[in-house]
Copies of this chain bind each other. A is one copy, B any other.
């Protein structure tokens, strides 16, 4: 080894030892008589001391070391006179006797500090320098710890990690596949998996009983911010289980992760039905760190001359604790927000509950104090609170109030990143009606089982079918989702019919799975967690990108290696392909 210790190792107990360290020059301070260098590696920072009076030649070399030079030094651990108790090595320094420059460095394009002067674009292009910064380095180590603890937990529970193939078969349904031309099978193509869904089900048919895999998945989606074309799942499946077993097993995983990684003891996760989530929070990804639940005011608000309300399908409000202090300008901003093109609601009605017990609303012309008092009672408002009300078409109104709820909470700083509020959302509808294609789509995927209580009337009312499907939501982020699968080929056939597959299409795409189900498929179910998002939630950050070592940008490009890129004609020729234009 080129070192006896790392730069995070040494403390007062090591005083007197002769050590060898290697690392990067973080800082170089020439104080005239003395020169101090902060030497950095993954494990910490150690101060090196050079005294002009003792060894002028060495001190001179030290003074000329630039930022990010890689050096190896030999020296004695001595106690510092001016201690820095903020870092573990802050009580000692190294009295250097020998220096060896292992590699020089050009001046980095941005500062390698916790707060850097580098913008996102520059940091991505020089990601290998960005990774030297503590925030990114610590995110990658956090990710490693999360996967490591996840594996330990699942191993202990008898799960077996099994690798499924990456070169699989394209299925035109759903999101777009990345495809891979086969050279040795000309004119034929592999596809990269969007998830190992069918393989994990085949492993259950194969009797593996408990499977997991931490695995890359691929989706050639249109570009959206904070979406990666390749992303990582913690993918799991179990046999001979019902929904309750899956929820308990993986609630245990998440509780264990928070305990081991954050030292936080989460209590049992609440559960909410999809229907309830939509009516209470306007979303199936509710952030329950704070209240402001929806109150249905439709009946209370109708029957005056205010036609906006009279014509509305739904009128809902939220009570903002202490919100009566919001200024006119605050409320105007919220009105603007919900009217913006991305939200597209008509307008915002407010009702302030003044400290003196009176009400002030934006629709005082149409509603008297008694009526406003009725709203206030429905919303359980107290003096000093503010009710915000949106009205209109049902689904759009719910969505608008959901977004408003989050924004208000954000501004009130009650979305606390060090608080964690997980919730299971259950009882999803099996299908959603797609107006464009004029047919049902699977809300989860076509292998999701309807609730066993629904199976008897499965043929009658596709629209009413409830799925044995569940999502785990933490702080408003969908962290994972899964379902109990269909293991009965007759039911699978009916589902395919509902989805508008003819038999041939179903066979073409899922023939091998349907075949497999003929040979004794066990009841089974599972879940998949989005690792990138799980890391960012546990890390308390919004963006997933800084939890990925080498992420792609919003144009699906890796700007560091400059990929994707053009390839030469020979490569295309070999693949029997040509560019269309």
The chain A residues found within 8 Å of chain B, CB to CB, are 1-3, 6, 22, 24, 40-43, 68-70, 72, 102-106, 108, 126-132, 137, 140-141, 143-144, 147-148, 151, 155, 160-170, 172, 176-185, 187-192, 198-199, 202-203, 205-210, 216, 218, 220, 222-223, 229-230, 232, 240-242, 245, 487-488, 511-512, 516, 518-523, 548-550, 552, 555-558, 560-568, 570-571, 573-581
Contacts and interface: CB of A to CB of B under 8 A. Distances in A.
Among A182, A191, A245, the most chain B Cβ lie within 10 Å of the Cβ of A182
Copies of this chain in the oligomer: 2
A128 B516 contact: yes
Main SS class of interface, A:
loop
Contacts of A209: 6, 41-43
A183 B220 CA distance: 7
12 contacts: A2-B240, A40-B207, A42-B207, A70-B523, A137-B208, A144-B160, A170-B571, A180-B192, A184-B220, A184-B556, A187-B566, A188-B566
Nearest 5 A/B pairs, CB to CB: A131-B206, A105-B520, A188-B564, A169-B563, A182-B564
B580 A549 contact: no
Contact of A232 (B163, B241, B567): B163
A167 B68 CA distance: 30
A183 B187 contact: no
Contact of A242 (B2, B222, B240, B550): B2
Nearest to A161: B144
B2 A557 contact: no
Contacts of A137: 206-208
B176 A183 contact: yes
A41 B207 contact: yes
A179 B522 contact: no
A140 B208 contact: yes
Contacts of A202: 127-128, 550, 560
Contacts of A70: 520-523
A1 B206 contact: no
A241 B2 contact: yes
A184 to B, nearest CB: 5
Contacts of A179: 180-181, 567, 571, 575
B69 A520 contact: yes
Nearest to A215: B216
A50 to B, nearest CB: 20
A175 B132 CA distance: 32
B178 A178 contact: no
Given A41-B209, A131-B203, A185-B556, 13 more contacts: A103-B522, A106-B518, A127-B206, A129-B205, A137-B206, A141-B160, A162-B549, A163-B232, A179-B180, A181-B181, A203-B549, A576-B581, A578-B580
